Amino acid sequence: QQQVKQSPQSLIVQKGGISIINCAYENTAFDYFPWYQQFPGKGPALLIAIRPDVSEKKEGRFTISFNKSAKQFSLHIMDSQPGDSATYFCAASRADSWGKFQFGAGTQVVVTP
Amino acid sequence: GAGVSQTPSNKVTEKGKYVELRCDPISGHTALYWYRQSLGQGPEFLIYFQGTGAADDSGLPNDRFFAVRPEGSVSTLKIQRTERGDSAVYLCASSARTGGFSGELFFGEGSRLTVL
């Protein structure tokens, strides 16, 4: 049973455009929502994370929007660059089992020059 | 090195064989995790160590899978009687903290296991 559903599966965006990836979850006990970036042949690396007590968090060109009532959160990549081409995973975990993440299936983002 | 180190990076074995995958976490990190990532999927939790003990092994798919961390540092994931369905990238991650917003999970590059 997939506890975190991610969409779209893949995304093509032009350089300078905005990439938007969405995730939805069911378990209301989740209280930590990270986004990971993974390049081919590498392990996932933390990009940005949010707790449900805030609705938005921004770090550079990356923004998480969080909607607790809808149990949804999204990643926005502003001014997308070719170096952002990677697979992005959303994840969620509970406070009593931090690090035991439920990952989404991933979104492959391709930024064209 | 400064990151999580995993060996071997690639392992090809035959169905029914025994396999060991090693993880060397970041120095000083007390928490260690194993995940499995199948092609085109997100990582799937297998087991979590806090120190030497397995704090949560609920993700191990069956009793053919076993992991140890005898001295609280290096960990070995052991797979007996491998099956073709075990083919995946096995990721190890470590963390200095076991909770709180300031924690971060650092992943290694993974061990790609192929069972023929």
Inter-chain residue contact B44 with A103, CB threshold 8 Å: yes
Residue B104 placed within a domain: no
Residue B42 placed within a domain: yes
| Chain A residues 51-80 with a CB less than 8 Å from chain B | 51
Identify the pLDDT of residue A99. 87
- Rounded to an integer, the average pLDDT of B50-74 is 93
CA dihedral B83, B115, A39, B33 (to 10 degrees): 50
Inter-chain residue contact A101 with B108, CB threshold 8 Å: no
Inter-chain residue contact A105 with B4, CB threshold 8 Å: no
Set out the domains of chain A in order of their start, with CATH numbers: 4-112 (2.60.40.10)
Average model confidence (pLDDT) for chain B? 93
Identify the pLDDT of residue B98. 59
**Mind telling me how many Å the CA of A9 is from chain B's nearest CA?**
9
Residue B73 placed within a domain: yes
> Residue A89: closest CA among chain B residues belongs to which residue?
B42
**Mind telling me how many Å the CA of B33 is from chain A's nearest CA?**
8
Q: Which domain holds residue B35?
A: 5-97
Identify the pLDDT of residue B100. 54
B34 contacts chain A (CB < 8 A):
no
Inter-chain residue contact B107 with A43, CB threshold 8 Å: yes
Inter-chain residue contact A43 with B45, CB threshold 8 Å: no
Reply yes or no on whether the pLDDT at B102 is more than 80. no
Could you tell me the pLDDT band of residue B104, with boundaries at 50, 70 and 90?
confident
Which residues of chain B have a CB within 8 Å of the CB of A1? none
CA separation, residue B51 to residues A26, B4, B72, B92, B104 (Å)? 31, 16, 5, 15, 17
Query: Does residue B40 contact residue A107 with C-beta atoms inside 8 Å?
Result: no
Which residues of chain A have a CB within 8 Å of the CB of B40? 105-106
Which residues of chain B have a CB within 8 Å of the CB of A49? 101
Could you tell me the pLDDT band of residue B1, with boundaries at 50, 70 and 90?
low
Inter-chain residue contact A44 with B99, CB threshold 8 Å: no
DSSP chain B: --S-EEE-SEEEE-TT--EEEEEE--TT--EEEEEEE-TTS--EEEEEEETTEEEE-TT--STTEEEE-TTSS-EEEEE-S--GGG-EEEEEEEES-SSSTT---EE---EEEEE-
Could you tell me the pLDDT band of residue B74, with boundaries at 50, 70 and 90?
very high
Reply yes or no on whether the pLDDT at A56 is more than 80. yes
Number of separate domains in chain B: 1
Identify the pLDDT of residue A5. 96
Which residues of chain B have a CB within 8 Å of the CB of A41? 109
Reply yes or no on whether the pLDDT at A95 is more than 90. no
Which range (A99-108, B61-70, B99-108) has the least confidence?
A: B99-108
CATH, residue B45: 2.60.40.10
- Rounded to an integer, the average pLDDT of A14-31 is 95
Residue B58 placed within a domain: yes
SS3 A14: strand
- Rounded to an integer, the average pLDDT of A75-104 is 94
Copy the structure tokens of residue A113: 């020059």
Residue B103 placed within a domain: no
